[in-house]
Amino acid sequence: MNVRENLETITRNINEACERSSRQSTNVNVIAVTKYVSIERTKEALDAGVSNFGESRDEGLLEKVNAIGTDPSWHFIGTLQSRKVKEIIDYVDYIHSLDRRSLAKEIQKRANREISCFVQVNVSGEESKHGLSPNETIPFIEALKDFPMIKVVGLMAMAPNTEDSEEIRNVFKTLRTLSETVQDLSIAHAPCTELSMGMSNDYEIAVEEGATFVRIGSSLVGNEK
């Protein structure tokens, strides 16, 4: 496992996906998802030039932040229990899993600065996935005006568990269309210009469909667990 080589490969693939879809590769940010790897491996990614890191559990986030510091941006990407918000809120730059009002309320209560949040959408409708249905998403975002610490920078989705790349692509397309609908509403607290979508197996499709943040774990830093 050579993180630097992996990053080069991923960067090349992203650049090619951008060319295919007439996008600027500078608009695509790679989040190294370190939930399955050691601090050592995380440091390798930092040394290779990664400046965005993602963790899906509070313990993992705090352990890595303690070791690495807050120079890179930290993204909380997993399901977030309301009672854990106070543990992580001072260290995260982005929360990717805002999917309910009770969580928004807790973020509002604990934050001492504006927090950039992605609203998580369950586009595929799989029961195992968290997130709002596409129909619930816009009313939910509008109601977040009650929580001035929350800025909705974009939408986040996970691809369905399938090998069918067209099905995956359709999910990403749906998320992009929904984000454009939100943008058209010009909601002050919800610029919604970012799209968090794409993981190790599907980030190239996600980039072709407009991802601005891809969350890559195993194919970048590996999986030590």
Ligand X SMILES: *Cc1c(COP(=O)(O)O)cnc(C)c1O
Q: Which residues bind ligand X (CB under 6 A)?
A: 33, 35, 56, 77-78, 199-200, 215-218
Least spacing, CB of residue 216 vs ligand X, in Å: 5
Question: Which residue is nearest to ligand X, using beta carbons?
Answer: 217
Query: Would you say 29 or 56 has its CB closer to ligand X?
Result: 56
Torsion of CA 96, 187, 147, 107, to 10 degrees: 10
Spatial separation of the C-alpha atoms in residues 62 and 46, rounded to whole Å: 16
Query: Would you say 179 or 189 has its CB closer to ligand X?
Result: 179
Residue 110 CB-density burial (10 A; 0-12 exposed, 13-18 middle, 19+ buried):
middle
Query: Would you say 31 or 111 has its CB closer to ligand X?
Result: 31
Least spacing, CB of residue 202 vs ligand X, in Å: 9
CA atoms in the 13 A half-sphere facing the CB of 161: 4
Spatial separation of the C-alpha atoms in residues 149 and 130, rounded to whole Å: 23
Query: Would you say 170 or 200 has its CB closer to ligand X?
Result: 200
Query: Would you say 23 or 215 has its CB closer to ligand X?
Result: 215
Least spacing, CB of residue 89 vs ligand X, in Å: 19
Least spacing, CB of residue 56 vs ligand X, in Å: 4
Least spacing, CB of residue 46 vs ligand X, in Å: 17
